[in-house]
Amino acid sequence: MYCIQELREGKEEERLPKRRKRRELDKIGFFLLNFRWVFPMEETQEIEDRAPEEVISDETSDKKHETLDEILSRHRKETSQLQKKEVEMKKAAARGSKAEQKAKKKQVEDEISQLSSKLKEKHAKELAALGYSNGNGNENNNLDNLVKAIAGVSVTSQPEHTKVSKAKQRRDKRAQQEAEREQRIQAEQSDIISDRMIENEKLERKLKPLGLTVWEIKPDGHCLYRAVEDQLALLAGGRSPYTYQELREMVAAYMRKNTSDFLPFFLSENLIGNDSDESLAQKFENYCKEVESTAIWGGQLELGALTHCLKKHIMIFSGSFPDVEMGKEYKSENASGLSNSSIMLSYHKHAFGLGEHYNSVVPT
């Protein structure tokens, strides 16, 4: 019995270290089990404690950035848009008087210069952000080459002195002559506009007290006949009894029938050279054919024929010359000194750069 009890006590002593060890392992396992859940909470707290700028920086870094090719492509597009805007602004500035054009041109140049500087500065900053600068680095890091690439200019070195071909010299000379011609045209147009304005102002001051104003007629070579047609329609209270083409034919027929009355005036207005084989009668006949079948402009000869064909008094107002009356024998004056059946026209010397012009004069 004693031996059995001693053996049992010995086994109990052996079991005690094992039980103690098992309890220690259970504690370690519990700690590890809880550590797994505690660690993420600590990590989350660390993220929350970080500065907002750091979080935003991480988010920004995740965004997709433009590649160099994409940036250069966008820069080329923006440069092209600025060039188009410059062309449109210069076209808009090429209107008005010479002084206005000069002032507008200076304003456009200043504005384009500012826009160009801002655009270059913006492009330089974007390229500098990618590590490209104006320093004396290699070609890949040279901002000047990138700017040239944006504009589509070759970055290869060119010889300082290149011989200009004769063909290019001729092209440059033609371009310079064309530019000078355009400047002369602009100057002439400015003068014409000025003369036209003065003429119109004088005519308006003359017609306004009479209660009259100018009715514009199409400047197509038929203006005299169209103006008379408009007056006939006004007098008839509706439609003219004759079209402008019928009036042309009537004038030609009357001039042929009364050649002796018109030939002296025809000779004074159409000087005939000695080298012509045609007779005077043939030349006058050719002129009559042009009157009835082409858009040749009408003048004093045709007005004289019209007043007799229509048996109408014709009054021609002008801002550049004294007023002219034709067919006074057909005039029946009223209180204003004008006939109720008078045809009233206006003569314009400076209306268009192509030549003289007639309009219809109507009550205001």
Return the pLDDT at 247. Answer: 97
Q: What is the pLDDT of residues 202-248, one digit of tens each?
A: 999 999 999 999 999 988 889 999 999 999 999 998 899 999 999 99
Name which residue leads in pLDDT, 129 or 64. Answer: 129
Mind listing the pLDDT tens digit for each residue in 183-198? Answer: 776 666 655 567 788 8
CA angle at 221 for the pair 216 and 225, rounded to the nearest 5°: 65
Backbone angles phi, psi at 28, to 5 degrees: -60, -40
Q: What is the pLDDT of residue 205?
A: 93
User: Which one of 58, 110, 172, 220 is the catalytic residue?
Assistant: 220
Structure tokens at 277: 């084989």
The larger pLDDT score, comparing residue 363 to residue 91, is at 363
Is residue 68 very low, low, confident or very high in pLDDT (cuts 50, 70, 90)?
confident
Residue 175 confidence (pLDDT) above 70: yes
Task: Note the pLDDT of residue 334.
Answer: 58
**What's the distance, Cα to Cα, between the start and end of the chain in Å?**
152
Asked if the model's pLDDT at residue 27 lies above 60, the reply is no
Q: What percent of the chain shows pLDDT beyond 70?
A: 65
Question: What pLDDT does 47 receive?
Answer: 41
| Structure confidence by residue, pLDDT tens digits, 158-173 | 444 567 787 788 788 8
Tell me, yes or no, if 220 is annotated catalytic: yes
Residues 81-102 pLDDT 10s: 888 888 888 888 777 777 777 7
Helices (H), the chain: 2-49, 52-62, 68-93, 98-128, 143-151, 166-207, 223-236, 244-257, 259-269, 280-293, 300-310
- Options 223, 230, 288, 313, the catalytic residue: 223
**Is the pLDDT score of 176 beyond 80?**
yes
Q: For residues 346 and 88, what is the distance between their CA atoms, to the nearest angstrom? A: 38
Supply the pLDDT for residue 57. Answer: 43
**Number of CB atoms found within 10 A of residue 88's CB:** 11
Cα–Cα distance measured from residue 221 to residue 284, given in angstroms and rounded to the nearest whole number: 20
